[in-house]
């Protein structure tokens, strides 16, 4: 369970960090990090607008991942919590990508 907690912490930092950096213009348009769907890769303004629109759901997903990591770390055997955290996190990431796509299409 320690490995699961570490993975959740890393995912939380990666999700929130890349979304914040891309939304703020620090992480420029690229094909390695950030939300990489065609509508966001169309231009720098689409990239930033999309990440800005995805910022809230991605941040909530990161907070849920970090909280789940703490629970899994301090309560070994909490596999049910891990499953719920992963499902919630994936749902929020998907919602963030949909929001990002809509915003990026509007920015182009």
User: 53: which 2 tokens?
Assistant: 């629109």
pLDDT band at 108 (very low <50, low <70, confident <90, very high): low
Which pLDDT score, from 0 to 100, does residue 102 have? 96
Distances (CA, A) of 16 to 1, 11, 62, 76: 23, 8, 6, 26
What Rg do the C-alpha atoms of the chain give, in angstroms? 15
What's the rounded Cα separation, in Å, for the pair 88 and 86? 6
The pair of structure tokens assigned to 42 is: 């169309």
Residue 92 has pLDDT above 80, yes or no: yes
pLDDT tens-place string over residues 17-76: 999 999 998 999 988 899 999 999 999 999 999 999 999 999 999 999 999 888 888 887
pTM over cut 0.85: yes
Q: Give me 14's structure tokens.
A: 């990666």
């Amino acid at each position: 369970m320690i490995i699961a907690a570490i993975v959740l912490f890393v995912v939380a930092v990666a999700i929130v960090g890349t979304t914040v950096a891309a939304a703020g213009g620090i992480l420029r348009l690229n094909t390695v990090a950030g939300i990489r769907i065609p509508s966001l890769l169309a231009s720098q303004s689409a990239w930033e607008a999309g990440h800005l629109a995805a910022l809230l759901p991605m941040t909530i997903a990161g907070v849920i991942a970090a909280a789940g990591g703490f629970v899994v770390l301090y309560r070994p055997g909490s596999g049910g919590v891990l499953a719920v955290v992963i499902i919630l996190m994936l749902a929020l990431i998907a919602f963030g990508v949909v929001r990002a796509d809509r915003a990026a299409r509007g920015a182009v």
